Amino acid sequence: MSADAKQAFGVYVHWPFCLSKCPYCDFNSHVRHAPIDEFRFARAFEREIETTAARAPGREVTSIFLGGGTPSLMQPQTVGAILNAIARHWRVAGDVEVTLEANPTSVEATRFRGYRDAGVNRVSLGVQALDDASLKALGRLHTAREALDAVAIARSVFDRYSFDLIYARPDQTPQMWEDELKLAVAEAAEHLSLYQLTIEPETPFFGLHAAGKLKIPDEAVARALYDVTQDVCAKLGLPSYEISNHARPGAECKHNLVYWRGQEYAGIGPGAHGRLDIDGIRHAIATEKRPETWLMRVEAQGHGVTSDELLNSEERADEYLLMGLRLAEGIDPVRYRALSGRALDPRRIEILRDEGAITVDPDGRVRVTMQGFPVLDAVVADLAA
């Protein structure tokens, strides 16, 4: 059985609240100046878990991811209540990976031992930059020193931890990024998520960029920064296993692999998405984004689902192609054919291989090359046509 066909089931839990909204962020996150009723939200999470498990019974949970928003604003007992609810309604694998996203501030880092005691065994820290000027420009509330101190606390509490950085920031040069990245790898131990800054619609950065008040590196510099990312991480033992994620072999994020391999996962909480197989049909499920509206929906009907679409074979295959080609391991054309009912076009595969955008293993597995990753969207579109 190929890696992407092995049985896995993830549970994603979305905590939608943040202390402030970062100007580049288009995630479903909300700032509330009044205290959050954590107890009430915890009960609603438990209820939606129960309802979702009734629709998708008998699964064994292999990974849990508490994302946001800022889940590290939750008290450890709230996290514990959510994890206990998951364990009540599904079997949980003995080697389950339980990740919590955290802001790298000293206040939140003091809760790390409480999260570990609640059942979290991996943290992902939103560091984003390792210099104070960049952090201020990105709207982050922590300093570089505070971030590194939080990483050190994470290292002392958890066997597994990761942190995020954003590159292609305003005025960033390849040499600056190389120096920052070497420091990051030295601190990272096993895993880094490295994202190129993108200007997303309906964010403050979008307006500033449109007005010419925010200048980001041009395409040539952005490509040079990408190349530095690949070269430095590979040389220092954290090769890319996905277009934006780097890990020592064996330290990949199990939960994110569920997404990229086209496997099943439940989405719990405001604005969460899920992919569940019910009666042999793949359902694409989304919940109400507004936290208080989601809360009232769950209390009234047991779930916050606002969209539940049935994916046909072609749509499932397209998702598998789109997500799977992000991975260094690539995709299995046999699985693609089983999903879509048709084989990938051998002529298109040959053309892309001749162009150096993909490779094909002796067993037929298709992988995007380092040269192909910067034009991944075009590669996917060509293969899907």
Average pLDDT for runs of 10 along the chain of length 385: 72 95 84 94 98 97 96 96 98 98 82 96 96 91 93 94 95 95 92 92 85 88 95 96 96 98 97 97 98 98 98 95 96 95 94 96 94 92 89
- Give the integer Cα–Cα distance in Å for 162 and 183: 14
pLDDT number for residue 313: 93
CB atoms within 10 A of CB 65: 24
CB atoms within 10 A of CB 249: 10
pLDDT number for residue 1: 45
pLDDT number for residue 24: 80
Which DSSP string do the residues of 145-157 spell out, in sequence order? HHHHHHHHHHHHH
Structure tokens at 19: 């202390």
Reported pTM: 0.94
Asked if 374 and 368 count as a contact pair (C-beta separation under 8 A), the reply is: no
CB atoms within 10 A of CB 61: 23
Backbone angles phi, psi at 226, to 5 degrees: -60, -45
- Angle 285-290-296 (CA atoms, 0-180°, nearest 5)? 85
Helices (H) and strands (E) in the chain, counts: 15, 16
pLDDT number for residue 209: 81
Cα 95 → chain centroid: 20
3-state secondary structure of 372: coil
Cα 330 → chain centroid: 18
pLDDT number for residue 2: 55
Tell me: cis bond preceding 304? Omega within 30 of 0 counts.
no
Asked if 383 and 343 count as a contact pair (C-beta separation under 8 A), the reply is: no
pLDDT number for residue 294: 98
Quickly tell me which residue has 């129960």 as its tokens. 50
pLDDT number for residue 4: 57
pLDDT number for residue 129: 96
Output DSSP code: residue 345. Answer: -
